Amino acid sequence: MESTPPTVAAERLLESARRLFCREGIHATGVSRLLSDAKVARRTLYETYGSKENLLRAVFDREAAMWFGWFDQALPQRTDDPEQRLIFLFDLLEEWFASGRFFGCLFTNAVAEHDKSSSWVRDLAQAHFDRVHDRIEQLAAACGLPEPAWVAQQISLLIDGAIATAMVSRNARSAQVARSILLTLLREAKAA
């Protein structure tokens, strides 16, 4: 089944949900709050998404699309060199952290909030983390680095740490600190 693009109202609802779920929490954000913030009718939610849970799934899809837009479009536009792509990834993180659209990692926040009640949230988050790791591993392998899976794990932790630090400190510079560590990691991996 081919998905149709959301209406303007549904798009506003999706963006409001992303922002409110990250900022205020998924459980704390009721349907009335979502509808009021997005300035849409209840009908928009139920006709487009069917439920708040399905809206959350759509928010997960949107957040994942941002990440894979980086891997599939933004990084290739900047360079063909896989090592430079890994480095530029941290520049993209810094841009995200400095934007008004950064509220931490939606996937991590959702797992922290839902862990005891919703295994599907953890499953979606784990699938996202696995896909990001796979893309990083592909870049590490394309760099000719030994043990690209191990290098990708280290880079993934740098990314997660930068995101958590930026969320807590509200300082976009955490991406550049992580980038500096990445440069050391790449240098050591190449020397191994």
pLDDT at residue 186 greater than cutoff 50: yes
Assign 3-class secondary structure to 65-85: HHHHHHHHHHHHHHCCCHHHH
What is the band of 97 on the pLDDT scale with cuts at 50, 70, 90? very high
How much is the pLDDT for 7? 85
pLDDT at residue 52 greater than cutoff 80: yes
Average pLDDT, the chain: 91
Distance of alpha carbon 139 from the chain centroid: 18
How much is the pLDDT for 12? 93
Q: What is the mean pLDDT of residues 144-156?
A: 96
pTM (whole model) above 0.85: yes
pLDDT at residue 113 greater than cutoff 90: no
Q: What is the mean pLDDT of residues 69-95?
A: 95
155-168 pLDDT, tens digit per residue, is 999 999 999 999 99
pLDDT at residue 152 greater than cutoff 80: yes
pLDDT at residue 179 greater than cutoff 50: yes
How much is the pLDDT for 1? 37
How much is the pLDDT for 154? 97
Contact 128, 105 (CB under 8 A): no
Which of 38, 60, 62, 58 has its CA nearest to residue 50? 58
How much is the pLDDT for 114? 80
User: Class of the 62-191 domain?
Assistant: mainly alpha
Contact 124, 107 (CB under 8 A): yes
Contact 15, 7 (CB under 8 A): no
Domain chopping of the chain, boundaries:
62-191
Question: Of 11-25, 55-69, 108-122, 171-185, which has the strongest mean pLDDT?
Answer: 171-185
